[in-house]
Structure 1
Amino acid sequence: MLALLRERSRHGFAIAALTGADGPLGRVWRIPRPVIYRALGRVESAGQIEPLAVESGSGPQRTVYALTDGGRDAVDAWLERPSEHVRQLRSDLLMKLALLDRRGLDATALLRAQRDVLEPIVTAIGDEREQEEGFDSVLLAWRHANAGSALRFVDDLIAESGSQAGRARRRAQDGD
């Protein structure tokens, strides 16, 4: 929610539309409208957002919120922080990548930081698996495959971002 307010000031209904089942971010993270309104109250109490205006229309009044400096700092720090656990990548990393893309920001630093977290996890699980037998080995094989896939996914995105940057530089040079 704060990251969407980092893009621009909005009301809870607009956030719900973006994170609903049919919204562009709902493909990654669906947030039910009641959860959004409760969270807006919490982050307002925490001083991360403040009411900016009230829109009135044919329906209920809608309070438009803006980030405070503290809210802006919190979003920017969160967008730079890699996920610590492989199980968080589906929601946490993908949402950060979607939000960075929406703002036209380069995700390479986040991806490199994520790689730095994932690489030792993959190695540790692989080492641990060699010591186990039976179902424990099977479970570790599952975890190793998932962590390895996540690492390859991040590596692929880093490679793509490098090739996209290279193409953009070449286009700019060709235009000179």
Structure 2
Amino acid sequence: MLALLREESRHGFAIAALTAADGPLGQVWRIPRPLIYRALSRLEPAGLIEPLAVESGAGPQRTVYALTDSGREAVDEWLRQPSEHVRQLRSDLLMKLALLDRRGLDPRGLLRDQRAVLEPIVAALAADRKRQEDFDAVLLAWRHTNAGAALQFVDDLLAEASGGAGGQCHVDRPARRRSQDGG
């Protein structure tokens, strides 16, 4: 949610639309509307967001929130952090890549850091497979295959980003930068 507010100030309903099943980010993370409003009510006292305006219209009033400096720093730091576990890649890494893409930011630093996390995991699982028998060997084979596929996925994205215009993973469309992104 903070990363969506990093893009631009929004109200909870707008965030819900972005993360709905048919929203542009709903393919990666679906966040139910009640959870969004609960999170907003916690982020404000934490000093990460602040109310900017109240929109009124035909429906209920909607509070538009903006990030504080602390909120911006938290988002920028989070977007640079690789996932520590292979099981987190489906949601964590993909969401970060989607958010970086939405802001027109280069994903290569994150991808290189993610590769650095995955490479020793793949190597350790390969070594462990040789020492296991029975179902433990099957389980390690599963984990090794998944970790290896994740590493290949990151390597493929790095190759695409390095060869593409502007370092974007999606080279078929121009980068979309916003002034608040710092460049």
Give the TM-score category using the shorter length: over 0.9
How far did residue 166 of structure 1 move?
8.0
In the alignment, does 2:141 pair up with 1:133? no
1:67-114 Cα shifts (integer Å, max 9, x gaps)? 000000000000000000000000000000000000000000000000
Aligned-partner residue type, residue 70 of structure 2: G
Counterparts of 1:34 and 1:108 in 2: how far apart (Å)?
A: 34
How far did residue 45 of structure 1 move?
1.2
How far did residue 4 of structure 1 move?
0.2
Aligned residue pair count: 168
Report SS of the residue matched to 1:141: helix
Aligned-partner residue type, residue 136 of structure 1: D
Counterparts of 1:127 and 1:84 in 2: how far apart (Å)?
A: 19
Equivalent position of 2:7 in the other structure? 7
Report SS of the residue matched to 1:58: coil
Equivalent position of 2:92 in the other structure? 92
In the alignment, does 2:52 pair up with 1:52? yes
Counterparts of 1:23 and 1:140 in 2: how far apart (Å)?
A: 36
Seq. identity, %: 77
Counterparts of 1:44 and 1:88 in 2: how far apart (Å)?
A: 27
Counterparts of 2:165 and 2:60 in 1: how far apart (Å)?
A: 46
Counterparts of 2:157 and 2:58 in 1: how far apart (Å)?
A: 45
Contact 2:108/2:161 (CA < 8 Å) preserved in 1?
A: yes
Contact 2:106/2:166 (CA < 8 Å) preserved in 1?
A: no
Q: CA RMSD in A?
A: 1.3
Q: Which runs of 5+ in 1 are unaligned?
A: 169-176
How far did residue 154 of structure 1 move?
0.1
Counterparts of 1:41 and 1:69 in 2: how far apart (Å)?
A: 18
Equivalent position of 2:180 in the other structure? none
Counterparts of 1:105 and 1:25 in 2: how far apart (Å)?
A: 17
Report SS of the residue matched to 1:53: strand
1:112-166 Cα shifts (integer Å, max 9, x gaps)? 0000000000000111111100000000000000000000000000000011048
In the alignment, does 2:54 pair up with 1:63? no
User: Within 5 A, what are the aligned runs for 1:5-154?
Assistant: 5-154=5-154
1:22-75 Cα shifts (integer Å, max 9, x gaps)? 100000000000000000011111000000000000000000000000000000
Counterparts of 2:3 and 2:162 in 1: how far apart (Å)?
A: 25
Larger radius of gyration: 1
Report SS of the residue matched to 2:164: helix
The structure in which a higher percent of residues are helix is: 1
Superposition TM-score, scaled by structure 2 size = 0.90
Superposition TM-score, scaled by structure 1 size = 0.94
Counterparts of 2:43 and 2:119 in 1: how far apart (Å)?
A: 34
Indicate the structure whose relative CO is greater, using CA pairs within 8 Å and at least 6 residues apart.
Answer: 2
Over 3 Å counting, the alpha-carbon distance change for 1:167 and 1:92 in structure 2 is: closer
